[in-house]
Structure 1
Amino acid sequence: MIITECSTFRTTDVGKYAWGRLAHFQNVEAVTGQITDLHQLPQQQRTNARKQATQLRQCLMQAREYYDAARSVSLATRPVLLYYAVMSLALAEVLMKQSADSRLEKLREFHGCHGLQLSLANAVAPPDSLDLAATALRAKPQTAPDGSPRGTFEVWRRSSRELPIVGRYSQTHEGNLATTSRVQALMAGSDAEPEAYPKSGLSLLDVLLGLPQMVEILAAYGVKPKLVRATCTAVSGGDNPEPSITIIVHPALPSTMNDFMELVSFAPRGLERVNVKEYPSGIMLQFPGSIDVPGKLPWGVCPDVNNTWFSARQESLNEFGLLYVALHIAGNFARYYPDKWLAHIEVSSPLALVIDRLTEVAFDRMPLLVAGELSRRCLVAEA
């Protein structure tokens, strides 16, 4: 169930806008119809669809309670409440996208656990550098006796997908007399289950490096990003009746740019139609948007129309998944190690300040991403 459409929005309060969109999915009858249509269910299965719609409503209601509670507390407990909010939102996504086997009572039979477990590699003391502290905190997968992954996170991961790349599309009409421009999804990912979550887990630093909103604060502590920023556009018409996609990759560290380009590939039969130019301050990729030039680009995050952040590493979690794992680590560290966590807060350690920033990002992005998943559209801010 890959998303291939997009919508833009303008607001100064992204969280409020996102919850307004999510409110539509608390209408049980309307969502019953959406689930029935999405999964092409016969009429005799409508009762089961209604049960999923009811549970989806309940998950959204609980997520909003956790979210609002997190807004009213300090950093001492905020990560805990946001983690439970993200888990409830993940269940709402599962109930929309997956089959009746993923209704809550079914999930509890085998997946009645979080799916992730916190591991500390060292003492994670306040004097530690951000690199040391964030690397020591790790979320490992929970497994069944036979070694298979289980839990809420694993169920969510199976139906998670890469989001489309969004940009401006300009079309010149017959006779070159007029040009129209719109925002649309220029490229969509593969509708296939992502790679399995690593058995060794991911560290807090691993997941933070994939979030564009964390780039600035990580750089303040000498942590190099694993992302490149790009502008994606497409044009057609005139001498180019076939859509042509252009990706301008903005300046980045040479090592990061090289890592990004190593992940870019095109099928041999389409190489003569791909134009790559390297400039002193960036790179341009230009290629047809048609299906006959299949290629592969790293996973990207599109927070707004003018900016796409491409990963410079092999990625298997979308933006919501990265937030999910990050909040699990931060929330469980705060909950089970209050002595250590409060010590970090008291001295404003790098770890505390970075997690504080993470919670700010989560307030906006977490509900927005799920609103997009439920509406089957990628929601991007219009500049």
Structure 2
Amino acid sequence: MIEEIIRGDEEDRPANAIRSFVIHYASESTIERIGRKFLIDPNVLPEFHVRSIGNGMAINWERAEGFFTPLFRRSPLVSPEIFSASLNELFFVGDGDCLNEFGHYYIALYIAGMITRYFPHIWIKEMRINSPAAVLIDELVEHSIDRVPLLAASALERAIYIYD
């Protein structure tokens, strides 16, 4: 979970912000590997608080007054790469994984397209009996219709878009 709370002053101007990263339901070694991927600029280290919670950890970044003024040319925090399955569900990309969610859809759709195009005699038989492979490809296509346009826009514009 990633959450940000921005508090305002008496005139409703942003006064401070707290960004929280909560990672849960993971083994101790997984938490340690994920924790090592968070890179923090030494100048802002006092603003960070890390603590263990159950089977996970929480990282809180509390920015004080003036947090909207750009103090750095780049972000003082670099977090591990993530992708979202929904607004409430985020997944960290693990060690050795080099594809993001868009890449996984691209490869899966490519493979499905090759099967249906170059082996139609096999594909038609699979569709007629409603085999697990046919159901899987149908599900892939249904999910792709919802996700891929937003993922493609995100990749092209180098921005993160999330459906509300």
In which range does the TM-score fall when normalised by the shorter chain? Answer: 0.5 to 0.7
Q: SS where residue 104 of structure 2 aligns? A: helix
Instruction: Within 5 Å, give how 1:239-278 maps onto structure 2.
Output: 241=16, 243-252=17-26, 256-268=30-42, 270-278=44-52
1:330 aligned partner: 112
Q: 1:168 to 1:269 in 2, by over 3 A?
A: closer
Deviation at 1:328, TM superposition (A): 0.9
Deviation at 1:376, TM superposition (A): 7.3
1:298 alignment partner, SS class: coil
CA distance in 2, matches of 1:251, 1:303: 17
Aligned partner of 2:131 in structure 1 is: 348
**Within 2, Cα distance between the matches of 1:252 and 1:359?**
31
Q: C-alpha separation between the residues in 2 aligned to 1:339 and 1:326?
A: 20
Which runs of 5 or more structure 1 residues have no equivalent in the other structure?
Answer: 1-166, 181-235
The residue aligned with 1:73 is none
Contact 1:299–1:315 under 8 Å retained in 2: no
| CA displacement at 1:286 relative to structure 2 | 1.6
- Is 2:13 the partner of 1:173? no
Q: Distance in 2 between matches of 1:295 and 1:314?
A: 22
Q: Which residue of the other structure, out of 36, 39, 60, is the alignment partner of 1:286?
A: 60
How much has 1:373 moved relative to structure 2?
A: 5.8
Separation in 2, partners of 1:255, 1:339: 47
CA distance in 1 between counterparts of 2:18 and 2:79 reads 16
State the shift of 1:302 in Å. Answer: 3.8
2:85 is the counterpart of 1:311: no
2-side partners of 1:371 and 1:267: how far apart? 30
Q: Which has the higher contact order (CA 8 A, sep 6+)?
A: 1
Which residue number corresponds to residue 362 of structure 1? 144
- 1:253–1:358 distance in 2 versus 1, CA, 3 Å: farther
Gaps of 5+ in 2: none
Mapped partners of 1:271, 1:296: distance in 2: 13
The answer on whether the counterparts of 1:260 and 1:311 sit within 8 Å (CA) in structure 2 is no
How big is the shift at 1:246?
0.8
The TM-score normalised by the length of structure 2 is: 0.65
> What do residues 92-138 of structure 1 show as CA deviations (whole Å, max 9, x unaligned)?
xxxxxxxxxxxxxxxxxxxxxxxxxxxxxxxxxxxxxxxxxxxxxxx
Higher helix share: 1
Specify the alignment match of 1:216 in structure 2: none
Change (3 A) 1:171 1:294: closer
Q: CA-to-partner distance for each residue in 1:121-161, whole Å, 9 max, x for gaps?
A: xxxxxxxxxxxxxxxxxxxxxxxxxxxxxxxxxxxxxxxxx
Give the 5 Å matches for 1:1-383: 169-175=4-10, 237=15, 241=16, 243-252=17-26, 256-268=30-42, 270-288=44-62, 294-302=76-84, 304-342=86-124, 345=127, 346=129, 348-349=131-132, 351-371=133-153, 378-382=160-164
Distance in 2, Cα, partners of 1:295 & 1:370: 25
| Residues 270 and 332 (structure 1), Cα distance of their counterparts in 2 relative to 1, 3 Å cut | same
2:131 match: secondary structure: coil
Query: 1:20-53 deviations in whole A, cap 9, x for unaligned?
Result: xxxxxxxxxxxxxxxxxxxxxxxxxxxxxxxxxx
Q: Please identify which structure carries the higher strand content.
A: 2
Quick one: which amino acid aligns to residue 50 of structure 2?
A: V
C-alpha contact 1:257 1:312 (8 A) present in aligned 2: no
Partner of 1:379: helix, strand, or coil? coil
8 Å CA contact 2:37–2:79 kept in 1: the answer is yes
